[in-house]
Amino acid sequence: MIAQVINRPWTVLQFLGMPEFAQRITESYVYIAETDHLLLHDIPNRATPKLNVAFFFPYMSPVPTEQATVVKRYYDGNHLTVQPVGPSPAIVHVDNLKKLTPLWYQLSVDLKADGAADRAFGWVLEMWGYSIACARVGVKHYVWQQIQIEPSSTWHQNVSAENPYIYHYTFGVEYSIDGIPMVGAVGEWSLDKRHYFGAPPPRKLDEPPACAQECAWTWWRLFNEATAALGDVYPAQSGGNLRSFNPAAAQSDSDVGKLGRAITRTGPWVVDGKKGPILFHSMGRVSGALGQGTWSVTGELTISLNLCGHSTLTFDSSETPTKFTVGSAGALRLRASELGAAGALDAIWTSSRDPKWQSSDVDHVGVKRLLGTGPWAWAGISTMAFFDHGVLVTPWGHGTYVPDREAADVVLLTFAGIVHRVTTHECHKFTSVRASDGNKVEGWIQLGGGSPGSKCHQQW
C-alpha cells in the first residue's frame, strides 16, 4: 500500500475496509513506513495494545499561538497533551489503527478545508490530523527519538553516533566538490529525492567527496547496494548526482594558472576605492559584502565573475595583480547603479603584513590549509580570509597570522589585540584556543546561504 502523504489517511481507511486487509495483515501490530525510509537495523516492537510507538517531530508543537489556536478548536482537552507525532514511522496495534483511522481521515479533511488550519499546519496537516485524532480517542504514544534520524548536510551528519533504526532522507544532502556542506544551496555533489520526481536516480550514484560527513556515505552506500541487488529489475537511468544539479566549475589550483593562484593569495579587494571587501578564494569561490559567488579564469589576465550578475575582470598582472577593470558594461549591477568601474587591493594588503612572516611559511602545513581558501567562519560568524604575508581579514577588522614553527598544523592569529592558537584540521576545519583564557572556538569553511550575490539588493 503506497500513498501520497496528504492521501495517507484515506488510503489507510480504504485498506482497512478491504477483505485483503484481514488476509494480508495477520499480525497484531503494523509498522507504518514511508518510501524515503532506509532501514538500518531490525526495529524492536515497543508498542502495546494501549501504546503506539512514533517519532518526535520538533517542527510539530502545540505551543506557538497559531498552532495552539487551531488545536484548541479541534480538541477539547489540554492542547499541550497533543503529542508532536505523525503516523510514520509508527508501530501501532491493529485495534488502535482501526479505532483512530476514521477520525484521522475526517480531521484531515476538515483541517484542509479550514483556511487557518491549512496555513498553520501546511505540509504536516495530515500528521496533525493523526495526532489530534489520537488525543481524542485516547491513544497515547511512546515517543521514541532513536527510531529514526533525518540528516542533512548541516545536522545529524554522524549517523552511527545516534544509532538510529531508520535513515529518513526527507532532506537533501548537499556538498561542494571538496566535501564542504552547502547550506541552503544545491551542492556540486547533491543527493535529494526532489531531483527525481520525474524519473528514478541512476543505478549507481556518484561517490561522495572524501570530506563529506557520514550521512552522505550511508545514503549513497545503501542506495547503491539496493540497486545492485535489484539488477535488471531496476530501470537503467543515465546521469548522476555529481555536478548534475549544480554544474558550478570549482577550479583547483592546478586549473587556474598564475592569475588564479595570485588573486586567492592577495586581498582584500575594493571597488572604486571604497566598496568592499571582495575576497577571492580557491576552488573558484568569492565572498564579501555582496554575499558569495563564483569566479573562473578565462584568459591570462581575465576572470569571469558571477556576483550580482556576470562580468569580466581584467587584472594588471598575472603574478602580482594590484588592480582590475570591470568589463561587460552593465552586467554587474547593484540595483540601478553599476557595481563599479575598477578595483584595487585594499590598503590593508600592505599595512597589515606580519613582520615575522617568512617566504617559506607558505609551505607550512597549517598555512597551506588556510592560505587562499575560504570563506571561513569563526563560530559561524563570517567571513575570515587568510592571505600571503600573514594578512588576515576577520569580521572584527584586519589582523595577522603566522605559523607556529614548532607545530606543523598550528598557526597563531592576532586580531582585536588578542592572540589565538589555531590548530588546523583536514576537511576544512580548525580549533582555536584564546591565549588569554583558554576559550575554545571552532572554525570552518562556510558555503551556501543563497544564490550567488545573495546580498546584491543591499547598498554597500
Report the sign of the C-alpha dihedral through residues 156, 159, 164, 168, in that order.
positive
Enclosing H/E stretch for 442? strand 440-445
Does the structure show a pLDDT above 80 at 413?
yes
d(CA 456, CA 459): 8
Helix (H) or strand (E) holding 194: none
pLDDT at position 330 is 41
Residue with the bigger pLDDT between 221 and 256: it is 221
Tell me the longest C-alpha to C-alpha distance in the chain.
84
- What percentage of residues in the chain have a pLDDT greater than 90? 79
> Over the stretch 382-394, which tens digit does the pLDDT of each residue have?
999 999 999 999 9
C-alpha dihedral (362, 363, 365, 366), degrees to nearest 10 = -10
Q: For residue 440, with 0-12 CB atoms within 10 Å meaning exposed, 13-18 middle and 19 or more buried, which class applies?
A: exposed
Q: What is the pLDDT of residue 1?
A: 56
**Span 72-120, pLDDT tens digits:** 999 999 999 999 999 999 999 999 999 999 999 999 999 999 999 999 9
Average pLDDT for 189-200:
91
Residue 122 has pLDDT above 50, yes or no: yes
State the average pLDDT over residues 342-360.
93
Q: Which of 348, 438, 363, 445 is nearest to 400 (CA)?
A: 348
Predicted TM-score of the model (pTM): 0.87
Distance set, CA 127 to CA 5, 8, 253, 459 (Å): 9, 10, 50, 43
265-277 residue pLDDT tens: 999 999 988 888 9
The pLDDT value recorded for residue 248 is 63
Helices (H), 233-275: 253-264
* DSSP assigned state of 236: P
pLDDT at residue number 162: 94
As a whole number, the mean pLDDT across the chain is: 91
Query: How far is 148 from 164, CA to CA, in rounded Å?
Result: 5
Separation between Cα atoms, residue 253 and residue 405, nearest integer Å? 25
pLDDT classification of 336: cutoffs 50, 70, 90: very low
Domain ranges of the chain: 5-147, 151-233, 253-350, 352-448
Give the model's confidence band at 329: pLDDT under 50 very low, under 70 low, under 90 confident, else very high.
very low
312 and 320 in contact (C-beta within 8 Å)? Answer: no
How many angstroms separate the CA atoms of 91 and 148, rounded? 13
Q: Is the pLDDT of residue 455 over 70?
A: no
Residue 180 and residue 448: Cα distance in Å, rounded? Answer: 10
In the DSSP assignment, the letter for residue 428 is T
pLDDT at 2 over 90: no
Question: What per-residue confidence (pLDDT) applies to 458?
Answer: 58
DSSP string, 333-351: EETTEES-SEEEE-THHHH
CB 422 within 8 A of CB 410: yes
- Which fold does the domain 253-350 belong to in CATH? Lipocalin (2.40.128)
Higher pLDDT, 362 or 237: 362
Which pLDDT score, from 0 to 100, does residue 153 have?
85
pLDDT band at 244 (very low <50, low <70, confident <90, very high): confident
Backbone angles phi, psi at 150, to 5 degrees: -120, 80
Distance from C-alpha of 218 to C-alpha of 444, rounded to nearest angstrom: 23
Q: What distance in Å separates the CA atoms of residue 28 and residue 49, rounded to the nearest whole number?
A: 9
Please check the confidence at residue 172 and state whether its pLDDT lies above 90: yes
Q: Can you give the pLDDT at residue 290?
A: 85
Question: What mean pLDDT is predicted for residues 191-215?
Answer: 92
pLDDT in tens, 4-51: 667 899 999 999 999 999 999 999 999 999 999 999 999 999 999 999
Alpha-carbon distance 204 to 241, whole Å? 9
Kindly list the strands in the beta sheet with 148-149, ordered across the sheet, starting from the edge strand earlier in the chain: 37-39, 166-168, 148-149
What integer pLDDT is reported at residue 255 of this predicted model?
75
Residues 185, 174: contact at Cβ < 8 Å? yes
Residue environment code for 416-427, b if the CB has 16+ CB neighbours within 10 A, otherwise e: eeeebbbebeee
**Cα dihedral across residues 272, 276, 277, 282: positive or negative:** negative
Which range, 138-147, 227-236, 267-276, 441-450, has the best average confidence (pLDDT)? 138-147
Q: What angle do CA 14, 16, 21 make, to 5 degrees?
A: 115
Q: Residue 240 has what pLDDT?
A: 76
Q: Which of the four pLDDT bands, split at 50, 70 and 90, describes residue 333?
A: very low
Whether residue 210 is predicted with pLDDT greater than 80 in this model: the reply is yes
pLDDT > 70 in the chain, percent: 92
Determine the average pLDDT of the residues in 447-458.
61
pLDDT at 377 exceeding the cut of 80: yes
